Structure 1
Amino acid sequence: MQQPPPTTSSGPSTVPQFVVIHDQLQQCWKHPAVHYVFEDEPFPSDVPKDSYVLVNLGEDGESIAAVHSLSHKFQVTNCKVSSTPQMNANAGTGGGKDSNTNLMLTIEGMSANQPAKNRSKQYKEEFDQSSSVFGLDDLVYDFKRRNELLKQTLLFSQNQELT
């Protein structure tokens, strides 16, 4: 992760120092490489564009103005800035102003499922499992969970278009 350059009088006083991505479909956490790009700077040219998740921070550096994923393999369902958990424990013991600089950006979303060639095998295994009552319950639960994630993704993208 690159450290942001010192801010100017027109820039935010703080930016998130930690970034995590939660893949809700695969149920995993990732710590991405982060590039801070300010208004007057060009995008890095050495990073593939389809791996970008663009997050526009508000002027305070602590609110989200907009989020866009340029990847067809990952769509954002939620994005938030919060204090880092380990830093919160120290904030009560004289953390003061420094505790505000320990922000974490959490990006939640869904990655693309397996490649198409593996899907038929996966569906056959799921169908075979559904012969038992417990297997069917798991399939229904998984179906409902995926539908909720899709709804969340659509609502998030509609809210981003309105702002």
Structure 2
Amino acid sequence: MSIDLFTVLLAFFVVIMYIYLSLVRKSVLIKSVKRKFIYILVIGISLLILLLTLVSEQTIDQRIRGVLSIFLVLSFLLDSKGLSEDRLILSPFDKNGVMYQDIEKMALLLKKKEIRLNYFKNGRRGPMMKFTIPLEELLAFLSERLNEEAEISILVDEDN
């Protein structure tokens, strides 16, 4: 029963990644909404890997790698993006994010039960984020953090 060096490195990587993702998750004050399809896909792939790990004949080392692979896939459920104290966090591995003072314009689209936020920095549009908090809370949060020249446009979807 010998465990390969790469299995130990993979285990170390998984532990460090979960610590990092939990730290990023704590720094996000207002989390954006994820699509439910992502949850179904990640859990489905994890169950498939688990099934293949349990059904096939493998060494202990290969089984450990299979379990670690499941944890790697499940880490996508810890993906946190949203609004932190001083920046927009667009993905969990984006250590810099977008500072609020760099944002020139922000557009908010009010849909049925969600707010779609888009921002413009250096004349370029950033990725859209979805939130389910009340508009008043979001505006209060942003007004404290955006620079004074930043413009906030609020658009209402007429299909509501």
TM superposition score normalised by structure 2:
0.29
More helix by percentage = 2
Scaled by the length of structure 1, what TM-score is found? Answer: 0.29
